[in-house]
Structure 1
Amino acid sequence: MPTRPKPKLNLRVLILVFVLFAALATLANSFWVMFKIQKQELIDSALQVNQAYATRIASGVEQVLSSDQKRLEYAAGLLGGSFGDARQLEGEARRLLGQDNSFNSVLVTNAAGTIIASAPEHLHLNGRSLQDPAPLEQRQPIISKAFKSIAGNLLVFVSQPVFDSQGQYLGLVGGSIRLEHKNALQDLMDRQVRQDGAHVYLVDGNRRVLYHPYPERIGEIVARDPIVDAALSQGGGALQAQDAQGVEMLAGFARVPSSGWGVISQQPLGNIQTLLQGTMSKVAKGILPLGLFGVVLIWWLGARISAPLSRLADSAKRLDSPDSYARISAIPAQYFESWQIRRALLLGTSLLQEKIGRLNQQAQSDALTGLANRRAMQDALAHWQQVRQPFAIVSMDIDHFKRVNDTFGHGVGDETLRAIAGLMKQNSRADDLPCRAGGEEFVLLLPNSSLRTATEVAERLRASIAAADIDTVGHITVSLGVSLWQPGEGSITAALEKADQLLYLAKQGGRNRVVAEQRSLAVS
């Protein structure tokens, strides 16, 4: 009879290859675990550094804004006593502007919001109205959100209310910080230069960029950025996420308390990966010599270990030889596996019979539910007919099972069938035979059962299924038909068809019910 070609590899080579593969796989896995741990440590370190960096910068911004507010507060106190003196108002505006480079312009307004003094003079602001009436209405120190000036410049306005000695509100004094222009805030941020794509930027409560190392992004409204969301909603922290441009970033953030601005210090995750790849390349070069030595050692040990197996394989080709038992017994079993193989050769016949028995059992079972399949059911029916043993038939079908497959998928449908099979087993007697006839159709055969008993079993099974809570599907119902076969009362096929007809009557009658054959329930 035809056979497959003889394999070119022997057991020794296969074992050696497997051992080598296992060793290399272990080495690769160790390398990968080391890579992952080192990567996570670098990521955690970068997040901590960025958070500390953002916190330090936020503290610096807070100091700049606090200093600006204190200078304006001092000026407001001076102006409260001489608010009607235009020369003093102009002088104070020029003094504030020239004191340092915090403000790009300074102005004083009356209570109606009209600018009555300003610096520098070339802006010609006197007589104009304040763009944003909020500082006038609130009458308290304010750091505004960024806005476009009449000239189209992006500004932040810091102001202090002015009151006279009786507490009457006179107006306000304030300074504008032009975000695209040189000032104390810009100088502070410009000093935070980082390398390799790492950078720091500043946003206000409206998600508008107040500072960025790329000037073209100043004034941009940032949308859908979890890092910005965290910076504006939390006091401080660190986060690994994609920025608005879709680049994976390691970011630290902190909030500026007085203004509600968010400071973000971030660097691309790719920086960490590049650094890590270089490090791991050096590690790989360092362990390569030891790895090669390990491969040679494993090859030698593998050859020693496989020697008994090779002798057993050679003996297996001559099992019909008179001295085969003695020859196999003489092979040293230095470890458990060689002893087990030697024992398997001596017990081969019994193992083969056990395998045949298992195959026969599989042929009689439904692969999905573990119930008896149609072949097993037919064998049982043929045997009972031969020995003239009466039996009852319960034919069962799942109601609206197509909805389960259509709604939840066939995987959930299979789980439902297995759950129904389990309930059938629970509600069956020791001698009963639960079967899956096909699809969602089941049959329960009850040998030596009366029609009354079979109907009670069917009703108990129906109630058990209706009450069961099946994962994902919830509650389902079944319809059942019950018939009885007795020797001399027709064919078994007719009894099966009768049970199916009763099942369909149950479905037509509204489902979730049992319909039994109409005869005396005492008949057995």
Structure 2
Amino acid sequence: MPNRPQPKLNLRILILAFVLLAAMATLGNSFWVMFKIQKQELIDNALQANQAYAERIASGVQQVLSSDQTRLQYASLIIARAINDPQQLAGEAQRLLEQDNSFNSVLITDARGTIIASAPASLGLNGQPIRNQGPLKQQQPIISNAFKSLTGHLVVFVSQPVFDAQGQYLGLVGGSIRLEQKNALQDLMDRQVRQDGAHVYLVDSTRRVLYHPYAERIGSVVAADPIVDAALSQSSTALQAQDAHGEQMLAGVAYVPSSRWGVISQQPLANIYASLEETLSKIIRGMIPLALFGLLLMWWLGARISVPLSRLAESAKRLDSPESYQRISAIATHYVESWQIRRALLLGTSLLQEKIGRLNQQAQSDALTGLANRRAMQDTLTLWRDSDKAFAIVSMDIDHFKRVNDTYGHAAGDVTLQVIANLMRQNLRSDDLACRVGGEEFMLLLPNSSLRAAADVAERLRASIEAAQIETVGHITVSLGVTLWRPGGVSLADALEKADQLLYQAKQQGRNRVVAEELSQAPA
């Protein structure tokens, strides 16, 4: 009506405001999607890394303690023959002390627990009763929890009973490991330095800290802490929980069975958020110039664009949807300006979809080897099963891989795993799927393959791995189990179990071989 006031907004401003709002909604949605995906990916990777780290350290601790017990067992045989020779007993105690840096002191007792020989002699322990009477009563190999020694130090005691040829108990021989002094166990833990804000510590079954990167924590008893509870639960796992100090942690834990100790590798959840915030900040800073350019462009096009711009703005709200690229491409643009906007949106859609695709790829890939991970393998198995596609399953394990890590270090072990992954890619067809499902455990899925063809692939892969020269490590071998799953037969779980059983047969038959066998196809 004539008496109505003239609107203060023109089409250019309305269009610009609409485009800005749509762009902000799109960016907000895109950042929220990226934030959620990236956050969960970082948390999952941190949990997996900490669990793997704790397992490796627990294995190392187990090896150190087993080596100590083996040396003490050998010494007990010598001591049994020289139980009445003080000079020889003193020499044997000194030999054990000087053999390596495992023990900070060594002592030998009679059946009543009186010390009859010790090293170093400067401690003056001969003639005194031992503080920890548990090994005397149990008369079996023991790795103790931490306790105060006769010299007032906080120690762990590794002992071995001494029996004569008739089986009569003569006493024990043991070595103490001072928690505050350098020794083989502490050297092992000191080498476990993390660069991602994580730290590792060791507790005994009474929750007393045996090792911690902060020396003042050694000897303290950890209060109620679900992470420590998990570490002492005789299992290996990863968890997100609040520690005894009230801080949210991403932790991996492992159990040392011979000593009933727990290994904890953990890092603050705040570190993950800090890393994520830094990444998002870089993305935002990188997008600012493009955003400013887009603002100027929209202002110039506002006077000339109506319907096409409206459609483009509407499409811009859903850049993260899979069909967004096709939808934007279908919008008609009859002039250069609208064509440029469409091109810019298509570019933004491609970059966003590429980023989301990379994040999805990371979630489906093993970080070290680039092979498919267990999640991707399960998704593929489900898809092939639902589409009634027959496929061969090859279960593969590296022979004596623990020796590689123990002899050359975990870095060489990682290189070995990467070489194996590359050889797998070279020996497989484009439709085959190579997966890493554990530390040195791999799985190959070969669709539309016969058992014989799969066995040939496995044998070719085995031979190429055996022939490969790996830097530092040299040559290694693998064992493989091969079976075939057909629709209407046994379950996927039974098929995977069968492949693992065949793998174990290969190892039992001497390793470095392929064992293939048909499945019984009766439904489970």
The bucket for the TM-score relative to the shorter chain is: 0.5 to 0.7
CA contact (8 A) 1:15 1:306 kept: no
Whether 1:240 aligns to 2:250 is no
Instruction: Give, in whole Å, the separation in 2 of the partners of 1:196 and 1:53.
Output: 12
Alignment of 1:47-126 (within 5 A): 47-126=47-126
- Name the residue aligned to 1:46: 46
**Corresponding residue for residue 219 of structure 2:** 219
Amino acid in structure 1 at the alignment position of 2:191: R
C-alpha change, 1:17 and 1:254, in structure 2 (3 Å) is same
Output the amino acid matched with 2:65. L
Give yes or no for contact 2:111–2:172 (8 Å, CA) kept in 1: yes
Instruction: Please give the alpha-carbon distance, in whole angstroms, between the structure 2 residues aligned to 1:12 and 1:197.
Output: 52
Match of 1:156 in 2: 156
The separation in 2 between residues aligned to 1:224 and 1:294, in whole angstroms, is 55
The letter of the residue matching 1:225 is D
Distance in 2 (alpha carbons) for counterparts of 1:6 and 1:126: 107
1:267 aligns to 2:267 (yes or no): yes
By how many angstroms is 1:94 displaced?
0.9
CA distance in 2, matches of 1:32, 1:149: 57
Report 1:177-216 matches (<5 A).
177-195=177-195, 197-216=197-216
Alignment of 1:455-474 (within 5 A): none
Q: In structure 2, how many angstroms separate the alpha carbons of the residues matched to 1:298 and 1:264?
A: 55
Separation in 2 of the partners of 1:266 and 1:302?
A: 58
- The answer to whether the 8 Å contact 2:13/2:302 transfers is no
Higher radius of gyration, 1 or 2: 1
Residues 1:20 and 2:20 are matched in the alignment: yes
Q: Which residue of 2 aligns with 1:251?
A: 251
Question: 2 CA distance for matches of 1:303 and 1:64?
Answer: 78
Distance 2:246 2:196 in 1: 17
Q: How many residues get paired?
A: 308
1:128 CA drift (Å): 1.0
Q: SS in structure 1 opposite 2:43?
A: helix
Q: Deviations over 1:467-493 (max 9, x none)?
A: xxxxxxxxxxxxxxxxxxxxxxxxxxx
In the alignment, structure 1 residue 133 sits paired with structure 2 residue 139: no
Aligned residue type for 2:200: V
Offset at 1:194? 2.3
Structure 1: which 5+ residue stretches go unaligned?
310-524
Q: Secondary structure at the match of 1:170?
A: strand
Partner of 1:152, secondary structure, is coil
User: Under a length normalisation based on structure 1, what TM-score does the superposition of the two structures give?
Assistant: 0.54
SS for the counterpart of 1:176 is strand
**Deviates further, 132-141 or 77-86:** 77-86
- Give the secondary-structure state (helix, strand or coil) at the position aligned to 2:118: strand
Q: CA deviation at 1:164?
A: 0.5
SS at match of 1:201: strand
Name which of structure 1's ranges 27-36 and 103-112 shifts more when overlaid on structure 2: 27-36
Task: Letter of the 1:160 partner, please give it.
Answer: Q
TM-score (norm 2): 0.54
Distance change (3 Å), C-alpha of 1:14 and 1:109: same
- 1:454 aligns with none
| CA distance, structure 2, for counterparts of residue 245 and residue 6 of structure 1 | 65
How does 1:442-453 map onto structure 2 within 5 Å?
A: none
* Cα distance between partner residues in 1 of 2:285 and 2:119: 67
Match of 1:170 in 2: 170
The amino acid that maps onto 2:56 is R
1:215 deviates by 0.5
Per the alignment, in what secondary structure is the counterpart of residue 155 of structure 1? strand
Aligned to 1:159, the other structure's residue is in SS state strand
Identity %: 71
Question: How far has the Cα of 1:248 moved from its partner?
Answer: 2.1
Letter in 2 for 1:99: Q
33-42 vs 60-69, which moves further: 33-42
| 1:141-181 C-alpha deviation (Å, 9 max, x unpaired) | 00000111233211000000100100111111101000000
Contact 1:16 1:302 (8 Å CA) reproduced: no
How many Å separate the matches in 2 of 1:306 and 1:93?
A: 93
Q: What is the CA deviation profile of residues 24-71 of structure 1, one whole-angstrom value per residue up to 9, with x for unaligned ones?
A: 122112112112211221221122222111111111111110010000
| Residues 1:37 and 2:37 aligned together | yes
Residue-by-residue CA offset, 1:314-370 (whole Å, 9 max, x unaligned)? xxxxxxxxxxxxxxxxxxxxxxxxxxxxxxxxxxxxxxxxxxxxxxxxxxxxxxxxx
SS in 2 for 1:80: helix
